[in-house]
Amino acid sequence: MFVYERPVRFEEVDAADIVFYSRFLTYCHEALEALFASLPGGYPRLVLERRIGIPAVHVEIDYKSPLRFGDVARIEVTVEKLGRSSCTFRHEFSRKGDGTQVASIKHVCAVSDLSVLRAIPIPDDVRALLSQHLR
């Protein structure tokens, strides 16, 4: 399991004073960028130099409790499934401090060659990293 924490910013809440629902996907991506930081050059090198991407192909979200400006989101990232060229992430959101469960997100990605936008076998170093977080 990989843990990523980040504060909720003012511009991320809507008129109801809660995090706008689509922001959760941004938070997931931030968490994945942080997870890939342990690779040489991190996520930027993976995408910009190696031209390997992990675009989403399927997402399911269950919202349980709101996040508000000033809260800190705690995101536990695990890998539920690791295929030949795809992986399924699980992002469990809670509110840091009181531990309230906020959301659960299933995020299926296809590891892709960004030059041609086609799925490719997961590179060995990426597979090794993802394997460390298998549930």
User: Which residues have a catalytic role annotated?
Assistant: 14
* Host H or E run for residue 127: helix 124-131
Q: Rounded to an integer, what distance in angstroms lies between the CA atom of residue 40 and that of residue 5? A: 22
Adjacent-strand bridge partners of 78:
90
The DSSP secondary structure of 21-75, one letter per residue, reads: TTHHHHHHHHHHHHHGGGSTTHHHIIIIIS-EE--EEEEEEEE-S---TT-EEEE
